[in-house]
Structure 1
């Protein structure tokens, strides 16, 4: 059968609706702690903007020659809202129509989006931490300040953390729901295939 089960259509719809949260919650966060900032500094990355202690972080990073952080550093802000809208539309369409290929495409797009975000964050962090101003007040030979992709990392007297924020975790839940849907549909297909291979009773 080329249609998914009604219960799985509901799950696909829930997964698509959860992705709408990306428009209202931060997707990623970068935090810094140091003796002079025991309460921590936090920058949140949304689908189309930055928030948090961006100005203070810029002031601190200026001394070691790091680039000024601003929305202009993230051209993704100009098109991510449309990328998310397209993927959400595919998910809702898959839930309404119930076609397997649409449901599988929805999961594939979520996975590609996740990979794209991770790669993009790494490339941004590499450029931000390696391309330093040679005239900076503080220079440590051979030192790079690339923030961690995910997790914690010590940078001079700072402890840096990078990882998903509320919106990022919700997107992870959407992906997990879709993985469950795909697994259930594959198991259903295997069960049907096995039943078709078993000879009917009464036949010689």
Structure 2
């Protein structure tokens, strides 16, 4: 098999690691918690980050200040909240991208490598914007009847508690850290491999078999 096809094939298949590893991780540190709280975000569900019941504890803290409940397994099963639509859409997008990548590998045309890469990048940008919107909605659409209500001194409105998309943010007495996790690095590797497929595509006049 041609070198460019091998790179394209590997680049496509690397996306499947998104089903195994988390995309993102949010960590909360506070004096009252000896161990940090963590939440891993997979393409299909939310999971505990550092210790047992992390997501449940984060959900209780969030609800205390008026945030909506998180759609982790127990809440969904009890009918407290519906699962994110993204937990259905993103896996479908990944599978479609992998299938298209395999088809692109079989066709073996440089322009299709580029089309596939652009499609992957666009999908990634849409995913990041959707994640930001998810954080914004959770941090701003607060229940006015929440137990803890802290108002902004300048506007008189309820203070927003939007976690950071990337990096660090102080939220009351919590230090919140938000960073990409393992699956994002595999997606980055996918981009690199497809770029290598484009780079090593045989020049005109060479054997394209």
Scaled by the length of structure 1, the TM-score of the pair is 0.83
Structure 1 window deviating more from structure 2 (39-48 vs 66-75): it is: 66-75
Match of 2:12 in 1: 16
Deviation at 1:38, TM superposition (A): 3.4
Q: Name the structure with the higher helix share.
A: 1
Greater CA radius of gyration, 1 or 2? 1
Checking the alignment, whether the CA contact within 8 Å between 2:28 and 2:176 is kept in structure 1 is yes
Checking the alignment, whether the CA contact within 8 Å between 1:12 and 1:177 is kept in structure 2 is yes
Q: Distance in 1 between matches of 2:148 and 2:4?
A: 57
Q: Distance in 2 between matches of 1:159 and 1:39?
A: 13
Match of 2:87 in 1: 77
Checking the alignment, whether the CA contact within 8 Å between 1:128 and 1:146 is kept in structure 2 is yes
Match of 1:197 in 2: none
Checking the alignment, whether the CA contact within 8 Å between 2:11 and 2:191 is kept in structure 1 is yes
Deviation digits for residues 83-126 of structure 1 (CA, Å, limit 9, x no counterpart): 11110111112222211232112101210121011101110000
Match of 1:195 in 2: none
Structure 1 window deviating more from structure 2 (170-179 vs 142-151): it is: 170-179
Deviation at 1:73, TM superposition (A): 4.8
1:170 pairs with one of 169, 177, 186 = 186
Deviation at 1:176, TM superposition (A): 2.3
Match of 1:32 in 2: 28
Match of 2:45 in 1: 49
Q: Cα 1:144–1:73, aligned 2, differ >3 Å: closer, same or farther?
A: farther
Q: What SS does the aligned partner of 1:31 have?
A: strand
Q: What SS does the aligned partner of 1:162 have?
A: strand
Structure 1 window deviating more from structure 2 (140-149 vs 123-132): it is: 140-149
Match of 1:179 in 2: 195
Checking the alignment, whether the CA contact within 8 Å between 1:66 and 1:129 is kept in structure 2 is yes
Q: Cα 1:176–1:38, aligned 2, differ >3 Å: closer, same or farther?
A: farther
Count residues with an aligned counterpart: 184
Deviation digits for residues 48-104 of structure 1 (CA, Å, limit 9, x no counterpart): 111112111011112111111115351111222211111011111222221123211
Checking the alignment, whether the CA contact within 8 Å between 1:91 and 1:102 is kept in structure 2 is no
Scaled by the length of structure 2, the TM-score of the pair is 0.81
The 5 A counterparts of 1:1-204 are 6-52=2-48, 53-71=54-72, 72-142=82-152, 143-183=159-199, 185=201
Checking the alignment, whether the CA contact within 8 Å between 1:90 and 1:102 is kept in structure 2 is no
Q: Distance in 2 between matches of 1:118 and 1:65?
A: 24
Deviation digits for residues 132-189 of structure 1 (CA, Å, limit 9, x no counterpart): 111112111122110101111111111111121111111111112223433555xx76
Q: Distance in 1 between matches of 2:196 and 2:174?
A: 40
